Structure 1
Amino acid sequence: MKSIVNIRQFYTPIQPAARKIGGNVNYNEFFPDVRLQKFIYCYWQLETRDKLIDEYKYRVDSDGCIDVFFELENPQENFVMGFSKTFVEFPLEDKFNYIGIRFLPAVFTQIFKINAEELNSQCENLHFIVPSLSKFIEQSFHDKLVAEELVQILDCYFLKVVYQNTIMSDSRFNTALEIILKKKGMLHIEKDIDAGISSRQLRRLFEFYIGDSAKTFSKVVRFQNILKANCLKQESKYTDLLYDSGYFDQSHFIKEFKCFYGETPSVIFNE
């Protein structure tokens, strides 16, 4: 198995919109086996406690990851959602129980040798992308399983996958990826990344492994690091955060944040 960047030590993708879910809808994240944690950020479950009055809109914020997901009562229909440079809303029925696997950036491509650009901002039937994973999901899951059993089944499968297969990796891409993550997305791509390749080659590598350009990915990384910031309660600290994150224009910051999050930054800064 070739070495890949341990993204988790530099980057923590979060879904604050999901974590604020309450009422009759429940969202939980479960960490995989420690041996899988440089590949998979988490498994997640989104379910209704009781039947809802209306359909439900589930919002996913930009996080640079690729997710595989399926409905526990209908596992034969399973899907993969690629990198997205904007927030995405999924209209759901009035009753559901979804299970997901959130792969850290570039990992899905490296494990399954799939061109991530083909999934850019797309939600595709998993059967046409990774048939073996789709078949495993279809045959292994049903609606009687509890969370602990779900995690155990997923851990066993992915441990076999990552340790029995050669993980495709590119040292030039790994170098550039690590620089972006260490700098928290605050960098000038052409000036700050020295991976021994041209800007065109760098773009092609990021489109293949991530799904979009290094510049776009850096913006998502910066956005995610803003979400992690602890100083979100006071207006003065909000201003400091804006400039500390490399923004010099408040309107630019608000526009970009709304694109990734779906709402203006005041929504979370004033909570």
Structure 2
Amino acid sequence: MQIPDFRQRFQPVQPTVKDAGEQVVYAELLPDMRLAPYIYCYWQLQTVQPLTRPFCYRVVADGCMDIFFDLHQPEENYVMGFSTAYTEFPLPPVFHYTGIRFLPAAFPLLFHINAAELTNRFEHLAHVAPRLSKDLAALAALPSFAQAIQPALDRFFLQVLNSAPLQADSRLFNAIDIILDAKGTLPVESALNTGISPRQLRRLFSFYIGDTPKTFSKVVRFQHILHAKPSVESLKKNKLFYDGYYDQAHFIKEFKAMYGLTPTIALR
């Protein structure tokens, strides 16, 4: 089956690298268009020069699942599941991380992994998908990989896509469509009328997303605010940013849980 391409309505944002100044750079690369419904981007986070002070990289809740590894140790690859809160990674003085960010539901669909088993945690990929871990490590260990990361990963995942029997309930993707169209602000218990019972829908979301439709909607709503790039002043003036929240205090509390900072600090 061909799944919908969500990227026109869902563009997950991660914070830019500020704390390390010019010592660390972050970049995103688009995948081959045939992979676009499954992979949002390939990304790189690397030091330009050895760090002179401790550095933690903050990953905010974005509704996606990621595979990542350091090119210095490609056999030590990891998968990070759906997260409802921010995660901080203390990093060494020198690193060159490469990652694959999968759009919602894509990683479980391609590799038949229960997303709920990885929610709010990261795990050695070898413990989750041993063959994938081994093949990806072998690819990343090639001397040519660092000079041609995008085409190498495109070829790798196109082979995965061509060999993977994709079977998923279309009603799951209809529900995701509805949530994305509403930017995560709809009452999910009454609005997700996709021809499936709420219990069955929660089961599908648990396996393919990693959490409930309600929690996924919260992350979508949070990501919509990040993508809109509001200033602190516009947050104060434009009440549309609080749509779906009980009040401003609830908005601030949920934003801080998913970002790690209050909106005032994060958006200045």
Q: TM-score, normalised by structure 2?
A: 0.93
1:34-53 superposed matches below 5 A: 34-53=33-52
Q: Report the CA distance between 1:31 and its aligned residue.
A: 0.7
Question: Matched residues in 1 for 2:84 and 2:115: separation?
Answer: 13
Question: Matched residues in 2 for 1:133 and 1:50: separation?
Answer: 31
Q: Given residue 39 of structure 2, which amino acid in structure 1 is its aligned partner?
A: I
What whole-Å deviation, never above 9, does each CA across 1:121-168 have from its counterpart, x for those lacking one? Answer: 111110121122211222112385465511111000111111222212
| Structure-2 residue corresponding to 1:204 | 203
Question: Matched residues in 2 for 1:252 and 1:182: separation?
Answer: 23
Question: Matched residues in 1 for 2:266 and 2:166: separation?
Answer: 38
Q: Given residue 158 of structure 2, which amino acid in structure 1 is its aligned partner?
A: L
Say whether 1:14 aligns with 2:9. no
Identity %: 49
Cα distance, 1:21–1:202 mapped onto 2, change above 3 Å: farther
Question: Matched residues in 1 for 2:196 and 2:83: separation?
Answer: 25
Question: Matched residues in 2 for 1:108 and 1:171: separation?
Answer: 16
5+ residue gaps, structure 2: none
Aligned length: 268
| Structure-2 residue corresponding to 1:155 | 154
Say whether 1:258 aligns with 2:253. no
Cα distance, 1:195–1:96 mapped onto 2, change above 3 Å: same
Say whether 1:32 aligns with 2:20. no
Question: Matched residues in 1 for 2:206 and 2:227: separation?
Answer: 26
What whole-Å deviation, never above 9, does each CA across 1:203-235 have from its counterpart, x for those lacking one? Answer: 1111110001110000000000001114x2362
Question: Matched residues in 2 for 1:148 and 1:80: separation?
Answer: 23
Question: Are 1:67 and 1:103, in contact at CA under 8 Å, matched by a contact in 2?
Answer: yes
Q: TM-score, normalised by structure 1?
A: 0.92
The worse-fitting range, judged by mean Cα deviation, of 238-247 and 5-14 is 238-247
1:83-232 superposed matches below 5 A: 83-142=82-141, 144-145=143-144, 149-230=148-229, 232=230
RMSD (CA atoms): 1.9
